[in-house]
Amino acid sequence: MAATVHVLTAGYADDRVASTVTLLRDGDTSVVVDPGMVADRRLILRPLHAEGLDPDRVTDVVFSHHHPDHTLNAALFPRARFHDHMAVYQDDVWQDRDADGFRISEHIQLRRTPGHSAEDISTLVRTDDGLVVLTHLWWHAEGPAEDPFAADPDLLTHSRRAVLDLRPSLIIPGHGRPFAPDDRTPV
């Protein structure tokens, strides 16, 4: 059986900012991606409980990048391993490794996708409905076409093309609801 994807809270970026927080389940592995800023921590905890999971049972947390709006609530998951672009962290152990190609579980893999920041990673999830990519290459379905905070706009375009070349059935952006990419998806 493939992994499952549950958006715990859909993010936004306008007058206020919240990250899209997502739960991935693959066998005994439970991963929360981008537990960042939200209006109230219960917007993460209630849907997590609705999925039958307590925070101390989350096995892994992934940071797409190190901006506070994507990392602020990491401490909600005291037993998790934490993944970023260069290492895995748990308690007082720091294990260096490149995220590119790193498998958290059978159906969940990390991929380097720099552009918004030099350290961006995306999470690739094989589901029964196809590939789902969790990424900050897009804030929401409309882009923005030009990320105003992109560290390297050309690299952002390259990473967007690389993700779209994977033919994902769904993209879960950094600050919005999931969307199916199409010809209008900004590159």
For 21-79, write each residue's pLDDT tens digit: 999 999 999 999 999 999 999 999 999 999 999 999 999 999 999 999 999 999 999 99
- The answer as to whether 185 is a domain residue is no
Provide the terminal-to-terminal Cα distance of the chain, rounded to the nearest Å: 32
- The answer as to whether 59 is a domain residue is yes
**Closest by alpha carbon to 82, among 73, 141, 166?**
73
- The answer as to whether 31 is a domain residue is yes
- The answer as to whether 184 is a domain residue is no
Q: Are 185 and 141 in contact (CB under 8 A)?
A: yes
Q: Is the pTM of this model over 0.95?
A: yes
Domain count, the chain: 1
Dihedral sign for Cα atoms in the order 50, 53, 54, 60: negative
Q: Are 65 and 110 in contact (CB under 8 A)?
A: no
pLDDT at 103 over 90: yes
pLDDT at 121 over 90: yes
Q: What is the CATH number of the domain that holds 156?
A: 3.60.15.10
Sheet with 121-127: list strands edge to edge.
103-105, 108-112, 121-127, 130-135, 170-173
- The answer as to whether 69 is a domain residue is yes
The Cα-based distances of 179 to 1, 68, 160, 170 in angstroms read 23, 24, 14, 6
Q: What is the pLDDT of residue 151?
A: 86
Q: What is the pLDDT of residue 1?
A: 84
- The answer as to whether 187 is a domain residue is no
- The answer as to whether 47 is a domain residue is yes
For residue 55, give every residue at least 6 positions away whose Cβ sits within 8 Å of its Cβ, in sequence order, or none.
45, 48, 76, 77, 78
- Cα torsion 134, 140, 141, 144 to 10°: value is -120
- The answer as to whether 128 is a domain residue is yes
State which residues form the domain around 67: 4-173
